């Protein structure tokens, strides 16, 4: 498909401005950096005078010598001060020059981005047109780099420009998975949240599109496993949020606030993904919340999950240590990043065939899902994981066992939930 806006003409405005920005970058890199003052070369000569009277020196001679040395020291300090002021003035000129060039580069870069995104004019199914800056609105200074250049917006732009009516569209990955992300050959993946979804929401207006399940109002029954005056342990069903989201879906927190209207807490201590089922502990008091949070922070809470993988791991048990961070252009997806990622550790053991027990030692977002799916982990996505594997009737991941110290009694307590698969 052709580009929505072809801005890469060799002699075009974008290329000319880009060349000027690159020249500014080279100029900045070649400028000498400002230096720090390290003192005068005469510092050693004047750093210490003999302040004591010498044996062969009369009192009058000692007075004259000290007066002379004090005058010399004063003159030396004035020279050093003048040297330092001259030095700092020259270095400040360097710093001012670099700062001015950086401001100019930033201004040119911002102007070029604004020009570019105003020229990316997207169509929708109603025949309306809007540029990317108006589509992303006040939530962004500018749309993310590369917005409007992905395959889905280009396909729809071509269709609407030529009077075609799309029937269906999906994106799949071809080839080997990249090092950081989880991508499997010939598997389908949704549009990225950061760049494409805001554009696609506009472009698909005027078409009969299946609603996003996350934006639909939906209620679930929340099973209470244990409850006292301090806390409540619940068995969250798959499809229920832990805390309220952007849509209308009911969350564990919503249910617990209705159930315990007089509680000083009703605070969700930890979370499960919407697609994950299983045990969660909710604090009813602020004191219980703080104590449970401390236990989670010190990793003294013990957890076990059960999952069904897409294929059996090669080793019967082992450990996965892959640092994780959010994919900034496609939240809530996570990527493996050895430089900027936070440490994430998971132990696993095979129960039977593709059924495995997972023991997270850290609590990173999507930790178990990425550790199972990533090629440097188990290289076997959890069944039904539509972010990192293939969609099924549900995500086959369940928090089946939870153990911690009761925040009021200090006793070790544990709870179990049978996986519904």
Known catalytic residues are: 273
CA separation for the pair 154, 158 (Å, rounded):
6
CA separation for the pair 28, 100 (Å, rounded):
10
Q: Is 293 exposed, middle or buried (0-12, 13-18, 19+ CB in 10 A)?
A: middle
C-alpha separations of 157 from 4, 17, 298 in Å: 7, 27, 51
Q: Is 273 exposed, middle or buried (0-12, 13-18, 19+ CB in 10 A)?
A: buried
In the block, tokens 């040119």 appear at 108
SS3 56: coil
CA separation for the pair 87, 418 (Å, rounded):
74
User: Length of the chain, please?
Assistant: 421
CA separation for the pair 367, 361 (Å, rounded):
10
C-alpha separations of 24 from 12, 16, 107 in Å: 19, 13, 12
Q: Which of 289, 301, 302, 297 is nearest to 231 (CA)?
A: 289
Give the phi and the psi of residue 202 in degrees, each rounded to 5: -75, -45
């Amino acid at each position: 498909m052709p580009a929505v806006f072809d801005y890469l003409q060799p002699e075009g405005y974008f290329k000319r401005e880009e060349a000027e920005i690159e020249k500014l970058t080279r100029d900045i890199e070649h400028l000498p950096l400002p230096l720090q003052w390290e003192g005068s070369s005469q510092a050693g000569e004047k750093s210490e005078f003999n302040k004591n009277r010498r044996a062969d020196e009369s009192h009058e001679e000692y007075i004259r010598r000290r007066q002379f040395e004090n005058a010399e020291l004063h003159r030396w300090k004035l020279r050093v001060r003048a040297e330092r002021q001259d030095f700092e003035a020259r270095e400040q000129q360097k710093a001012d020059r670099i700062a001015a060039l950086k401001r100019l580069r930033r201004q040119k870069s911002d102007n070029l981005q604004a020009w570019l995104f105003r020229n990316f004019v997207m169509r929708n199914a109603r025949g309306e047109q809007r540029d990317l800056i108006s589509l992303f609105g006040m939530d962004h200074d500018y749309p993310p780099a590369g917005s409007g250049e992905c395959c889905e917006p280009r396909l729809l732009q071509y269709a609407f420009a030529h009077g075609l009516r799309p029937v269906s569209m999906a994106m799949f990955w071809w080839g080997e998975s990249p090092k950081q992300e989880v991508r499997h050959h010939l598997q389908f993946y949704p549009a990225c949240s950061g760049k494409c979804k805001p554009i696609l929401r506009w472009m698909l207006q005027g078409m009969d599109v299946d609603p996003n399940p996350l934006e639909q109002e939906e209620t679930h029954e929340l099973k209470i496993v244990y409850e006292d005056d301090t806390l409540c342990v619940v068995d969250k069903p798959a499809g229920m949020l832990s805390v309220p989201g952007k849509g209308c879906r009911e969350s564990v927190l919503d249910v617990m606030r209705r159930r315990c209207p007089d509680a000083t807490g009703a605070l969700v201590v930890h979370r499960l993904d919407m697609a994950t089922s299983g045990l969660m502990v909710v604090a009813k008091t602020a004191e219980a919340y703080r104590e449970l949070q401390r236990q989670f922070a010190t990793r003294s809470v013990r957890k076990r999950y059960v999952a069904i993988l897409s294929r059996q791991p090669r080793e019967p048990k082992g450990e996965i240590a892959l640092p994780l961070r959010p994919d900034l252009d496609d939240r809530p997806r996570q990527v493996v990043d050895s430089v900027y990622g936070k440490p994430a550790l998971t132990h696993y053991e095979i129960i039977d065939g593709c059924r495995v027990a997972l023991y997270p030692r850290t609590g990173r977002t999507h930790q178990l899902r990425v550790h199972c799916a990533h090629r440097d982990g188990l290289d076997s996505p959890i069944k039904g994981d539509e972010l990192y594997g293939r969609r099924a009737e549900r995500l086959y991941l369940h928090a089946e066992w939870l153990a911690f110290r009761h925040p009021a009694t200090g006793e070790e307590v544990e709870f179990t939930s049978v996986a519904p698969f």
